[in-house]
Amino acid sequence: MNGYDLVAQCLKKEGVEWLPCFPANPLIEAAAKVGIRPLVFRQERGGINAADGFSRQTRGKSLGVFASQSGPGVENSFGGIAQAWGEAVPMVYLPGGHGLAGYDVAPNFSARKSYESITKLAVSIDRPDRTTTQIRRAFHTAKQGRPGPVMVEMHGDVMAQEAPEGAAEAYQPSTTMRYAPSRGDVQDALRALLGAKRPLIYAGQGVLYSEATEELRQFAELAQIPVVTSMQGKSAFPDDHPLALGSANRTAPRTVWKWLGESDVVLAIGTGLTRTVFGISIPSGKFLIHSTVSPDDINKDYAVDIGLVGDAKLTLESLIDELKASVGEGGRATDQETISEIRTTHEAWLAEWAPLLNSDETPINPYRVINEINNVVDHANSVLTHDAGNPRDQIMPFYKASAPGGYIGWGKTTHLGYGIPLAVGAKVADPSKFCMNFMGDLAFGHTGLEIETAVRGEVPITTVVINNGTMGGYDKSMPTAMQRFGAGNQTGDYAGIARACGAEAINVDSVDGIAPALEAAKRANEEGKVCVVEIATRQDTRFSVYPDLLKP
């Protein structure tokens, strides 16, 4: 048994069942020998993004692992790992290394040095007897506190050596450690919430990772506090709940803007509260309670009044216990006035957008596509994700995520093409779900050939491509380049490309063809076939933004 065989045995004990990879790494063969299925992607970022989607759907309980070769493989993987770092996604990256003779020698690319800024841990296996230690550290670190990627560089001249006897048998898999805030801090936080005139819960993806969605619902109902979810936290609270306000991408339902503006006490839970142009900043003047697994998040971007450091599930359980002790087992009386206000505000907002959501225009309006998706999919048994740019900003406010993990929200960094491999990873994690990504034509150009990977790997996903022939919104920022030279415009038969890759493919150019195409895609997926639905759309840069509602 050499080092690669030993790593494969460790991965097996950690529960790894598949290995997205590209293009060559001795670990691929070693993993296959122990029953771990390798799936070779068309390029590094696709495989990393798929491992990312897998980790999100398993809530980090089983981690996505990606392997690449040394040199160009490590260099090309940087963007995908940076995306996982920005999105706080736990995964393990296992690239090859140059070997000790060329390690850290310019111009060789040092993975350990270069990845330190975008991983929680970046280490090398530079001695055979440290192999299991470094792998255990990797899985342990990825899971603890703020989730994130880790990198373990495997030097070929070290890994080719004989592994220490008994190392595989002695390997113990990592476990996730959970901790809770002090009771006194929880009591102070609850007191502030119960004394608020306009309290608000702002829930992030930490609620999903800690599997605290039921506790979040219980606490919101017992305390009668409305809930906003972050972009990454979308689906942590059901969008069809009477206390649901929606998700806070930089676009959001009117209810989100209104309550963020008018709230006086905010409980932010399961979120790092990172300020980003792809989200809505919480206005100043709030009494802010920040619950997070990472103490480094507190007072990072916002001045925090009460910090609750701990696991979201344990924190919510404590809040529920203290609430029941304070006001009784049944919680506070139903706040019919607030629920009615949420409902009427939401209905007025939908009425405002009804002309676009129900538009019959040709080329098709993208909002009509989103409305048809909402009407066709089984929300409780589907996983949807967007892509960067206009598709994200259009679908986030309107898609109704009703089940935990039913939507993968992302956007702190915005790599085009992320949606296809994310859907692949999500489908591998839960084959019972209908997994769809919603993307623009420009994004398809980045990872469209991963459709072939899904076909070859027998991972039946659906991709909806809204094709407007241009980079949406860029005519405003570079009007001369667009008008004189057509910069940013592109053409292509994306359904044709998918068809050539072995997928089912459907072209749609009228509104009455959208729903049948989506139904056909669902049937194709049920039959084990990958499907791409290309819809001819117009550009529409009207977005659900109401910044005036944030002002006092």
Helices (H) and strands (E) counted in the chain, each on its own, are: 24, 18
Is pLDDT of 185 > 80? yes
Nearest to 242 by CA among 344, 313, 331: 344
Average pLDDT score, the chain: 96
pLDDT digits (tens, 9 = 90+) for 263-303: 999 999 999 999 998 899 999 999 999 999 999 999 999 99
What local confidence, expressed as pLDDT, does residue 243 receive? 98
Q: Is the peptide bond before 173 cis (omega within 30 degrees of 0)?
A: no
pLDDT tens for residues 5-59? 999 999 999 999 999 999 999 999 999 999 999 999 999 999 999 999 999 999 9
Compute the distance between CA of residue 518 and CA of residue 533 in angstroms, rounded to an integer: 8
Q: What is d(CA 23, CA 39) in angstroms, rounded to the nearest whole number?
A: 10
As a whole number, mean pLDDT of residues 369-388 equals 97
* pLDDT score at 472: 82
Domains of the chain: 3-170 (3.40.50.970), 183-341 (3.40.50.1220), 358-536 (3.40.50.970)
Ranges of H-type helices in 381-537: 390-395, 419-429, 441-447, 450-456, 474-477, 479-485, 494-500, 514-526
Enter the tokens of residue 333. Answer: 């009386």
Write out pLDDT tens, residues 149-169.
999 999 999 999 999 999 999
Q: What pLDDT does residue 108 have?
A: 80
